[in-house]
Amino acid sequence: MPASPSHAPLRLPHVACALVLLVLLAGCGAGGIAGTDLGGATERAHVDGVPGPPGAAASPSPSAPEPSPVPAEIPGLGPQTRAAIPAGARQAFVVTGESPDSHTSTAVLYTRDGPTGPGWRAALPPWPAHNALNGWTDEHQEGDLRSPVGVFTLTAAGGRLAPPDTAFPYDLSPDFAVTGEGFQGEPLEGSFDYVVAIDYNRVPGTSPLDHTRPLGEERGGGIWIHVDHGGPTQGCVSVTEDRMKQLLGVLDPALQPVIVMGDARSLRR
């Protein structure tokens, strides 16, 4: 039987409204997504000067990596001198002479936490010091009255008096007594009350009184850090008695201490 004409007008509007509703819903959804993508593309259009394609995912601008801090170096030392300091050394007693022929110097103790740490830093303030009468030399010879230039380990101490609180092996002996006068007429008595042996032409770790000379007797020896007597030395480095006690108190064999010694020009090599 044919459909009643009175029912046909009622079905068409419902179908049409449903289609219109679907189109509107689809349009809203598409419009929301498209709006987001286009907005992002618009914001990215000038990132790094390159337009971003619509719909492309945003990527953050790469930030430059922060530079690693450069470990602090000991001032006044050149590459050759720095390279001579053992990698394991954590203490460096730096004695800088005023000139190649001067017998006056400045001494500073530097420390560092490790080879990859923040670097060297001064642990004690600068001290006045003396070195040999005729200054410095790269080729120390017995009797030349010059102090040897270089980097040397510090491994033993000793003296005529009982040691202050120190971690170093300490040879207490009356054989450290000394008499006579220095080059400027000053008394030498008490100069060896406290000493730290400098490992130049000697066997490291032995008493400062050990006379073994691995390089031969002609190359000299017995080069120490000792108590200052107010004038130049024959080859040693000297600081005042209170500074000597302080040095013995802070030097630590576990930190593999060294002495870096020479005139300022030589140390800058």
For the chain, the domains span 79-267
Confidence band for 61, pLDDT divided at 50, 70 and 90: low
Beta bridge partners of 49: none
Higher-confidence residue of 33 and 152: namely 152
Q: Is pLDDT at 54 greater than 70 in this prediction? A: no
SS3 60: coil
Task: Give CA–CA dist 167/183, Å, rounded.
Answer: 33
Residue in this structure with the two tokens 């400098």, named with its chain if needed: 198
pLDDT-derived band of residue 51, with 50, 70 and 90 as boundaries? very low
Rounded Cα gap, residues 74 and 124, in angstroms: 13
pLDDT recorded at residue 267: 98
Q: Which residues pair with 108 in a beta bridge?
A: 94
In this model, does residue 251 exceed pLDDT 60?
yes
What was the pLDDT predicted at 66?
57
109, 93 in Cβ contact below 8 A? yes
pLDDT of 40 over the 60 cut: no
Measured on CA atoms in the order 146, 151, 156, 162, is the torsion positive or negative?
Answer: positive
pLDDT at 213 over 90: yes
What is the pLDDT confidence band of residue 49, given thresholds at 50, 70 and 90?
very low
pLDDT above 90 covers a percentage of the chain that reads: 71
**Dist CA 204 CA 225 (whole Å):** 15
Query: CATH topology for 79-267?
Result: L,D-transpeptidase catalytic domain-like (2.40.440)
CA angle at residue 143 from 157 to 96, to 5 degrees?
A: 55
Residue-level pLDDT at 12: 37
Of the pLDDT bands very low, low, confident and very high (cuts 50, 70, 90), residue 157 is very high
Average pLDDT, the chain: 82
At 114, the pLDDT band (50, 70, 90 cuts) reads: confident
| pLDDT reported for residue 70 | 59
Least trusted range by pLDDT, from 42-56, 128-142, 171-185, 228-242:
42-56
Query: What is the predicted pLDDT for the residue at 113?
Result: 85
More confident residue, 33 or 172: 172
- Name, in order, each residue with C-beta under 8 angstroms of 210's C-beta and a sequence gap of 6 or more: 202, 203
CB distance 228 to 238 below 8 Å: yes
Q: pLDDT tens, 93-111?
A: 999 999 999 999 999 999 9
Burial tier of 262 (Cβ tally within 10 Å: 0-12, 13-18, 19+): buried
Q: What pLDDT is attached to residue 258? A: 98
Q: Closest Cα to residue 255, out of 126, 91, 66, 102?
A: 91
| pLDDT band (50, 70, 90) for residue 69 | low
The whole-number pLDDT of residue 19 equals: 33
